[in-house]
Amino acid sequence: MKQFLFLFVFALTTSFVQSQENLPTDYLTKEFHQGRREAFRNLMPANSAAVVFSYPERVFSKDVNYNYHANPDMYYLTGYKEPDAVLLLFKEPQGTEKYTEVLFVRERNAQKETWTGRRLGIEGAKSKLGFTKVYNGKDFNTFEIDFKKFDKIIYDNIPTDVEASKNIDNLYSLLQSFKTKAGIIAEDKASVDLFNNITNSLREIKTPEELVVMRKTVKLSCIAHNEVMKAVGPDMSENEADGIHAYVHRHYGAEGEGYPPIIGAGGNGCILHYNDNNATKIDNQLLLMDVGSEYHGYSADVTRTIPANGKFTEEQKAIYQIVYEAQEEVFKLCKEGTPIQDLNKRSKEVVAAGLIKLGIITDPKDARIYYPHGCSHFLGLDVHDKGNYMGTLKENMILTVEPGIYIPANSKCDKKWWNIGVRIEDDILMLKDSYENLSADSPRKWQDIEALAKQKSTFNDMKFPKI
């Protein structure tokens, strides 16, 4: 009887972990990932092998992990989103089977899947990801491959903080086995550089399939920004504004945010990567919101700076307008052929001239005191995506344009400017002779922001019990 119950429970468990309905239907296709592997292989030198590892899991608290985030390069090349995996790519066909790729995945385990979620396994990787040669991670130890026969082994930085484990199929074991097979004692910088050169070259240009996802993640981020513009008030907390963004993102199916949201009121907005988001009242200050959703692995990156009471003061408006004009000037350069470094250079020139005109600085070099960061970065699978920053703009690159001015309290200028922090950030798709502002759905002009602030938000009518 006990044996029957065990088999019955096991059958239920197995059935449960194998079935899931109502999943999104707009993930990138297996054909997309196959195409990316082929593009990677085309850039590999003769007689070479590439090795790509999954990211490790990270502990959140005691025996609870953070939500797992896949290695963007692994996801880009395979579509695989689980830990404890390794991908092998070969320039030339290998063995009698003439294979050019092998994927090692986390083994299926009905008991563990009941606790921590479904696993794709070997058959899932074949049917859903399009691989033909797939093994469980534990088989990597005995997989017959002589890495030493290749002229070049291409791999990314090997993580050094992966927890040692006796499990023969976890990431630590995969890394150790690779080092042994390849005879690696210390990382080969040339191998890592080559890996980055290839992935930079591929990922800086977005394919049509990627552009569909990027348009969606940016658009829903704009909707979230607009909703906060309508809902915000002096009594709102930074955390509440953060929560509106999160709700809107998830309403449209985003998995989360592409980076920790920056929701800074007043002086907090002058901290570039402020993410405490815990001021209980915004008061009659500017609210700087740097928040972008992550949709199916792709991140938006949109920043808007708004007055909590719906009206810019004259000082706030003056600083805001300099940042806006810097953006407008940089947009004029956004087309194929422009050196990427020119975007930052032009934004610095406009900000410096504006600050001099207001009497905040007298020397253009001092603009860096109030504008200490760059103007642009690549955007995609990472919020600071891969790409060649010393190159020129190319069609279908996506970069941010994000000038800013930050004047914290006790700055060496008239105190009427203190605690004004302004950043405006948009996600720009480069075209042949022009550009497309993917985040144009969220207003940038101060007049348009004030107009939107007069509209009512869905969130204005939400009432919760007091505690």
Q: Which of 240, 257, 402, 426 is catalytic?
A: 402
Q: What is the pLDDT of residues 219-240, one digit of tens each?
A: 999 999 999 999 999 999 999 9
How much helix, strand and coil, in percent to the nearest 5, is found in the chain?
Answer: 40, 15, 40
Query: What is the predicted pLDDT for the residue at 17?
Result: 52
**CB-CB contact of 101 with 117 (8 Å):** no
Residue 6: pLDDT over 50 = no
Of 203, 226, 252, the residue that ends a domain is 203
In whole angstroms, what is the distance from residue 151 CA to residue 170 CA?
Answer: 28
Give which of 62, 61, 196, 90 is closest to 152, Cα–Cα: 90
In whole angstroms, what is the distance from residue 164 CA to residue 172 CA?
Answer: 6
Based on C-alpha coordinates, what's the Rg of the chain? 25
Residue 142: domain span: 30-203
Q: Are residues 248 and 318 in the same domain?
A: yes
Q: Which of 384, 395, 441, 450 is catalytic?
A: 384
- The number of residues in the chain equals 467
**CB-CB contact of 244 with 282 (8 Å):** no
Residue 6 belongs to some domain of the structure: no
Q: Which of 204, 290, 382, 385 is catalytic?
A: 290
Q: Are residues 265 and 413 in the same domain?
A: yes
What are the E-state strand segments in 216-355? Answer: 256-257, 262-265, 286-291, 293-295, 298-299, 302-307
Q: Are residues 310 and 454 in the same domain?
A: yes
The answer to whether the pTM exceeds 0.85 is yes
pLDDT level of residue 163 (50, 70, 90 thresholds): confident
Q: Where are the alpha helices (DSSP H) in 89-170?
A: 110-116, 121-129
For residue 167, give the amino acid letter. N
Give which of 385, 139, 144 is closest to 258, Cα–Cα: 385
Residue 315 falls in the annotated catalytic set: no
Of 164, 180, 203, the residue that ends a domain is 203
Q: What is the pLDDT of residues 254-298, one digit of tens each?
A: 999 999 999 999 999 999 999 999 999 999 999 999 999 999 999
Residue 290 falls in the annotated catalytic set: yes
Residue 402 falls in the annotated catalytic set: yes
Task: Give phi and psi for 61, each to the nearest 5.
Answer: -165, 120
Q: Which of 204, 406, 426, 444 is catalytic?
A: 406
Of 203, 225, 257, the residue that ends a domain is 203
User: What DSSP string describes 87-99?
Assistant: EEEEEEEETTTTE
Q: Which of 273, 276, 363, 368 is catalytic?
A: 273
Q: What is the pLDDT of residues 239-265, one digit of tens each?
A: 999 999 999 999 999 999 999 999 999
Residue 328 falls in the annotated catalytic set: no
Helix (H) or strand (E) holding 16: helix 2-18
CA atoms within 13 A on the CB side of 444: 23
pLDDT mean over 105-123: 96
Q: Which of 82, 101, 425, 427 is catalytic?
A: 425
Helix (H) or strand (E) holding 75: helix 72-78
pLDDT mean over 86-91: 98
Handedness of CA 149, 152, 155, 157 (dihedral sign): positive
Q: Which of 73, 238, 301, 427 is catalytic?
A: 301
Query: Residue 110 CB: number of other CB atoms within 10 A?
Result: 16
Residue 406 falls in the annotated catalytic set: yes
| Paired residues of 429 in beta bridges | 398, 436
User: What DSSP string describes 390-404?
Assistant: TSB--TT-EEEE--E
Residue 342 falls in the annotated catalytic set: no
Q: Are residues 151 and 245 in the same domain?
A: no
Residue 385 falls in the annotated catalytic set: no
Q: Which of 377, 426, 435, 444 is catalytic?
A: 377
**CB-CB contact of 329 with 433 (8 Å):** no
Q: Are residues 96 and 137 in the same domain?
A: yes
Give which of 221, 243, 216, 241 is closest to 231, Cα–Cα: 241
Q: What is the pLDDT of residues 294-325, one digit of tens each?
A: 999 999 999 999 999 999 999 999 999 999 99
**How many domains are contained in the chain?**
2
Q: Which of 373, 389, 436, 450 is catalytic?
A: 373
Residue 12: pLDDT over 60 = no
Q: If you average pLDDT over every residue of the chain, what do you get?
A: 94
Residue 423 falls in the annotated catalytic set: yes
Residue 425 falls in the annotated catalytic set: yes
Q: Which of 423, 426, 427, 435 is catalytic?
A: 423
Residue 273 falls in the annotated catalytic set: yes
- As to burial, measured by CB atoms within 10 angstroms (0-12 exposed, 13-18 middle, 19+ buried), residue 199 is buried
Q: Are residues 321 and 448 in the same domain?
A: yes
Q: Are residues 250 and 267 in the same domain?
A: yes
Residue 151 falls in the annotated catalytic set: no
